[in-house]
Every structure is written in structure tokens, then in C-alpha cells.
Amino acid sequence: MNKLNSKVSIAILILMVGTYIVPGAILYSNQFIFQGILVSGISIAITALPLLPFLWRLTKKGNLNFQKKSPIVLATFIFFLNYLLITAPTFGWFAPLRWNFEAKIVSSIISLVFIALSSKLSWKDIGFTVPKQGTWSRVLIVLSGSTLFYALIYEASTPSLETLIFQGTMPGIEEEIVYRGILWVLIAQALPQSTRRLWGADVSWSLIITTILFGLIHGVIVDQHFNISIDYWAIITTGISGFFFGWIRAYSGSILPAIVLHNGMNLLIYTIPWLRSFLL
């Protein structure tokens, strides 16, 4: 498939997202749009403010060229659109479900189409490649540590079949394509990536920024009355999880282990405490 220039691919992205969210806004409520503006705006601001001194130092050293700001602007825009997609009202068969299969599937399809069309992105850069040797043993180590953590910390509840199917598939596919895929690459295009080595992987700006955003988007809450609250536990736990997803992405050079790790950890959250209570 031939790649399109940035403006055309972004226009198609907006059209695809609008086709999905506008009917919900008209038929149900447009409140989620304003909530999305607040949540994504707060998350971006909290992420950016602590990083400003570091970015300023890079600018003074000549290592940061703000003429490359367009990938950051695009990453910010995609972050916002993704939040709108996953919070828009659902329709038809999906509406009664507890988990939002519809939004995850739609967001994944739109993301893949955008990757296919955009001249700024390639499948290899996104991470659709074979992981390097030694990756899967590290995935198992992280999953083993997560098993112990969830067994000790989380309260038990009986997971439904819907929960198990959703957690074992949707979050890892959709969120990794967006965070450790599209956003990862766009941040890498704008900011220098060589920083420090950690357990065999480069701790880059892509890893740092996507980790912070991933934690905040799960913990910054705006209710229907536009009251803002912060779930610090959610930010910390999902932020730590996001760091490991990013670390395995950086180590392996592939997004596939991050998808497996993400879905594996989500399944463990629901199954390990239940198994503990069942067995003990």
C-alpha cells in the first residue's frame, strides 16, 4: 500500500474517528468529548511539566530541534483522539456488556489503518517484527513476579467469562499499538532516544513519556459533573505496568512481547487472587 502524506493521513484519521464518535454524541451525549479534553489535557500537562527542565537542557546543548515539533503535536492529538474513542457511547450488541469490546476493536482497526497510510510510520518502526533472542524468558520472569504481587495485594473476586476474554485480548492489542507503537515512534522522531541502559534495554524518552501518560490516563478521573479526582493507586500500578511493557518493547525491538505481557498481566490480576482464595 502506498503511503500518504501527513496531512492526508491525518484527515483520514479524523474522518474515521469522527464517523465513530459523532453518532454517539448526537444520539446520547457529547459530555464524553469535554471529559476527554479535560482528562487528556491534565495528563499531558502533568507529563510535560516535570520534563521541561530536561528538554530545556537538551535545547541549550543543541540536542533538541523544535523544528521537529510536528511528531509531538501529532502524538498529542492521537492521545486525545484515542481517549475519545475508548470513552464514546457503545451501540447495539456491545452496549449491554460490562467491558468495552467495541471501542477497543474500533480503536485497533483505526490505528492499524493509520499506520498503513501514514508516511511517518512503518510496520517495522511500530514494532511488528520478530523479537530478539531472550525476550520471552524475560516476559515469563515479569509475569512470575506479577503473579506473586497480585497474590499478596489484590482482593479476590470471581471473574466472569466476559472479563477473562476481554482482559486476555483487548487491552494489550489496542493499548500497545497506540502507546508502545504509534506514540512511541512519534516521540522517538522528535526527541533524542539514547539515554541509559537498563537490564539490556535503552531507557529512552519514548519509554519515559509513554509510561507516565499510561499511568495518568488510568488514574485521572472526570465525572459527569466535571469534578476532577486522582486515583493515585491506579496511576502507580498502571504506571509500573506500563514501564515493564515499554521496557520489554525497548529490549526486544518488537511490540508483540508487550502485547503478550500486557494481556498476561491483566489476566493474572483477575485470576490469581481468585485462585488464592479458592485454594486457601
Read off the pLDDT of residues 112-153 as tens digits, 9 standing for 90 and up: 999 999 888 999 999 999 999 999 999 999 999 999 988 888
Residue 107 lies in a domain: yes
Q: How many domains does the chain have?
A: 1
Residue 167 lies in a domain: yes
Cα 184 to Cα 14, 41, 71, 170, distances in angstroms:
20, 19, 10, 19
In the predicted model, what is the mean pLDDT of the chain?
A: 86
> Does residue 172 carry a pLDDT above 90?
yes
Average pLDDT over residues 78-104: 87
Burial class (CB in 10 A: 0-12, 13-18, 19+), 15: exposed
- Grade residue 90 by pLDDT with cuts at 50, 70 and 90: confident
- The lowest-confidence range among 138-147, 191-200, 235-244, 262-271 is 191-200
Residue 1 lies in a domain: no
Residue 126 lies in a domain: yes
